[in-house]
Structure 1
Amino acid sequence: MEHSIENYIKNLVRDTIGQALGGLQLQKDRQTYVVGNWKMNNNFSGTAEFFQEINSSNNVSVVVCPPTHLLYPAQLLIKQQKKSIALGGQNVHWADRGAYTGETSTSMLQEMGCEYVIIGHSERRQYAGENDEMINMKVKQAIKSGLTPIVCIGETLEEKNLLQTEQVLKTQLFGALKEIDSSQFIIAYEPVWAIGTGQSASPELAQQSHAYIRSVITQIMGQDADTISILYGGSVNEKNAADFYAMEDIDGVLVGGASLKAKPFDEIIAAFAKGEQNL
């Protein structure tokens, strides 16, 4: 009974917010994205199966970010299947070329069909030692080369418990966007404590952080902040996607595990496409 009442209240809040937002022009002016980050998963056969089965939508921008070795096959499959899906890399180097063993340049990503690139993911910060200065150089390089960076920010569980979320997000934003005079980027808010844990932030909590992020981008860029798409990431799945869409400052999602198979990812796309149709 408690779960039924809780679900009823959640749906009521979501529907009320959705109706209230329906008349707002601001959200219509920002592009809606559903981005899949495969991380170090999948293979050739799985990639072929995915792009054969996946649907695409004209209402939202769908981006898939496979491991580097799967990018070119993915490009061929997208063309063969005539799907309206863009490709993105999971990482990039800040140099055009050079003696950087194991790294990938923007031109290499573009040659494999990429239009987007994920930069500053918490796993890169943790395992590869990336800091705000390195992330800033990568963002600049991506924009200079014509790639759209998806810049990831987010607090750890310890930082959340110490009530440092806003401080962390502000520091990461000012670091990543230092001396950036272009609005050709996307922000992905991924609370580290929610990534791959099944413990997603509530839509209301995510909206609170997204609104704060937009206020910080306004400090950095002025009114152009209203045009920047901010995505939520962290245990997003086909069951909770619609709840996130209903929030004013959530312009899409960055999906991990649920993007590896076509069916759940399709359902997430459909949730956002349906919301766009209702605006």
Structure 2
Amino acid sequence: MEQSIENYIKNLVRDVIGQTLGGLQSQRDRQTYVIANWKMNKNLAETAEFFQQINSSKDVSVVVCPPTQLLYPAHLFIKQSGKPIGLGGQNVHWAEKGAYTGETSINMLKDVGCDYCIIGHSERRQYAGEDDQLINKKASLAIQAGITPIICIGETLEEKNSMQTEHVLSTQLIGALKEIDSHNFILAYEPVWAIGTGQSATAELAQQTHAYIRSVLTKLIGDKAEGISILYGGSANESNAAEYSAMPDIDGVLVGGASLNAKSFDAIINVFAKGDQNQ
């Protein structure tokens, strides 16, 4: 079984056609997203202040993912502001309900106004031991409940240095999407070696990786892969956002530390909004 999976992944890698930046079309009809992942940051007062200061754009889907305890207040602040900002959870449990102390169910996310949920973030994989099978169960549950999963994939520094990036990404993607028929999901490529380190993949490297991810996705779901938004995450900020926005297979960013400051997050939104207008 393992050998057949290995062979399948090798075939995917071999089938990838080298695509130059000039030969690629620009983002077609894919939706552009700028998504904030606050992780374990901010309190109630800071959340209120953020939504007072933040702007939005009709050209970009803006989503904010606060800690669970701040989701409902954030929902109210967004509603009060009248701004078209989406709300997302940072995690969800695979079961609909039950004796799972400290966990959050998909229906709880829906009740507090969430339309999105981050699933499979590398920090969840690292600290909570989440594997592809569990991520698949969570993604499937979210889709069934009408919540769009933001499925994260990415390689560690060790995997990158040992030339295992394609293998890792293929394995994670195949595992996460197993037996999922819906195309209502977002992918986020987050190289683990770039998260919270201040390092980031160059725009050219990120583009090459995104193009590879889309080629694997095409193997899995066919032409519909062209409509799936693939975001870049990993120390994305206002300084490098313009470079990423210029890449044809980068459909937005999943922002960590830079999303905690409303001014910085606004600057990133504006970069991608301008990029959409120029296409």
Deviation per residue, 1:170-209 (Å, 9 max, x gap): 0000000000101000000000000010101000000010
1:160 Cα deviation (Å)?
0.2
Equivalence for 1:278: 278
1:66 aligns with 2:66: yes
Q: Give 3-state SS (helix, strand or coil) of 1:29's partner.
A: coil
What is the alpha-carbon distance in structure 1 between the residues aligned to residue 61 and residue 131 of structure 2? Answer: 29
1:71 Cα deviation (Å)?
0.5
Q: Give 3-state SS (helix, strand or coil) of 2:150's partner.
A: strand
Q: Give 3-state SS (helix, strand or coil) of 2:87's partner.
A: strand
Runs of 5+ unmatched residues, structure 2: 1-20
Q: Give 3-state SS (helix, strand or coil) of 2:217's partner.
A: helix
Q: Give 3-state SS (helix, strand or coil) of 2:28's partner.
A: helix
- Runs of 4+ deviating beyond 4 Å: none
Equivalence for 1:212: 212
Query: Where in structure 2 are the equivalents of 1:190-209 lying within 5 Å?
Result: 190-209=190-209
* Corresponding letter in the other structure for 1:119: I
* Corresponding letter in the other structure for 1:89: G
What is the alpha-carbon distance in structure 2 between the residues aligned to residue 28 and residue 45 of structure 1? Answer: 40
Question: With structure 1 as the length reference, what TM-score do the two structures score?
Answer: 0.91
* Corresponding letter in the other structure for 1:164: Q
Q: Give 3-state SS (helix, strand or coil) of 1:87's partner.
A: strand
What is the alpha-carbon distance in structure 2 between the residues aligned to residue 110 and residue 261 of structure 1? Answer: 26
What is the alpha-carbon distance in structure 2 between the residues aligned to residue 121 and residue 141 of structure 1? Answer: 17
1:101 Cα deviation (Å)?
1.0
1:222 Cα deviation (Å)?
0.8
1:278 Cα deviation (Å)?
1.2
Runs of 5+ unmatched residues, structure 1: 1-16
Equivalence for 2:120: 120
Q: Give 3-state SS (helix, strand or coil) of 1:152's partner.
A: strand
Equivalence for 1:29: 29
Query: Where in structure 2 are the equivalents of 1:137-216 lying within 5 Å?
Result: 137-216=137-216
Equivalence for 2:262: 262
Equivalence for 2:105: 105
Q: How many residues align?
A: 259
1:28 Cα deviation (Å)?
3.3
Equivalence for 2:48: 48
* Corresponding letter in the other structure for 1:57: S
1:91 Cα deviation (Å)?
0.2
Equivalence for 1:77: 77
* Corresponding letter in the other structure for 2:150: I
Q: Give 3-state SS (helix, strand or coil) of 2:171's partner.
A: helix
Equivalence for 2:18: none
1:213 Cα deviation (Å)?
0.3
CA RMSD in angstroms comes to: 1.2
What is the alpha-carbon distance in structure 2 between the residues aligned to residue 212 and residue 202 of structure 1? Answer: 15
What is the alpha-carbon distance in structure 1 between the residues aligned to residue 217 and residue 179 of structure 2? Answer: 13
What is the alpha-carbon distance in structure 1 between the residues aligned to residue 128 and residue 200 of structure 2? Answer: 25
* Corresponding letter in the other structure for 2:177: L
Equivalence for 1:253: 253
Percent pairwise identity: 72
Equivalence for 1:6: none
What is the alpha-carbon distance in structure 2 between the residues aligned to residue 200 and residue 96 of structure 1? Answer: 36
What is the alpha-carbon distance in structure 2 between the residues aligned to residue 45 and residue 181 of structure 1? Answer: 41
1:161 Cα deviation (Å)?
0.3
Deviation per residue, 1:221-259 (Å, 9 max, x gap): 111101100000000000110100111100000000000
Deviation per residue, 1:48-81 (Å, 9 max, x gap): 1100000000000000000001010101111111
Query: Where in structure 2 are the equivalents of 1:12-27 lying within 5 Å?
Result: 24=25, 27=27
